[in-house]
Amino acid sequence: MKLELCNYSGYKIYPGHGKRYCRIDGKTFNFLNGKSEASHLMRRNPRKVSWTVVYRRKHKKGKVEMSTKKRTRRTTKFQRAIQGATLENIMAKRNQKPEVRKAQREQAIRAAKEKQKGKKQSQTSKAQTQASKQSKGKAGKIVKGSAPKVSVRR
């Protein structure tokens, strides 16, 4: 069963009911009854006529169930331990005085710099020992390079 909609009122038109109106330009309209056809021909705006579906939608009539407002989830702060550090450790660090934290930071920086210096010294000493080994060894062959290429113009 094919239901059609009234072009003016917006109500359903069941088979065997309603009227089809064809204009000269070829546009067809389906009307439920003479009342909606007459209103259309009088050029009444269906949004201003109180019995039409369009009016009822516009003015929010007939909505029995009120849709509940979507509640947005509030973000809540939650403190928990991070991998490798317990919550007690984290809280203790947070509650330290700034001077103590600054001193610890400077000490850690100093230790890191000392470690880097130690690495550099060991690398330079290794490089020196390798250089001395090479100089003590037999002299390398002098490889004769090819003659420089000179372009000849003809």
Residues 53, 92 within the same domain: no
DSSP 3-state assignment of 20?
strand
> Structurally, how many domains does the chain consist of?
2
Q: Are residues 95 and 52 in the same domain?
A: no
pLDDT for the residue numbered 78: 80
Q: With the CA atoms of 46, 52, 57 and 59 taken in that order, what torsion angle do they form, in degrees rounded to the nearest 10? A: 80
Q: What is the pLDDT of residues 59-83, one digit of tens each?
A: 988 876 556 667 788 888 887 777 8
Q: What is the pLDDT along the chain (154 residues), one digit of tens a residue?
A: 899 999 999 999 999 999 999 999 999 999 999 999 999 999 999 999 999 999 999 998 887 655 666 778 888 888 777 788 888 888 888 888 888 888 989 999 999 999 999 988 888 888 888 877 776 655 566 777 777 777 777 6
Element (H, E) at 3: none
| Measured distance CA(104)–CA(77) in Å, rounded | 28
User: Backbone phi, then psi, for 56, in 5-degree steps?
Assistant: -65, -40
- What pLDDT shows up at residue 50? 96
Q: In CATH, what number is assigned to the domain containing residue 29?
A: 2.30.170.20
Q: What's the rounded Cα separation, in Å, for the pair 131 and 141?
A: 18
Contacts of 34 (CB under 8 A, 6+ apart): 19
What is the pLDDT at residue 108? 94
Q: For residue 81, what pLDDT is reported?
A: 76
Residue 82: inside a domain: no
Range of the domain at 123: 88-127
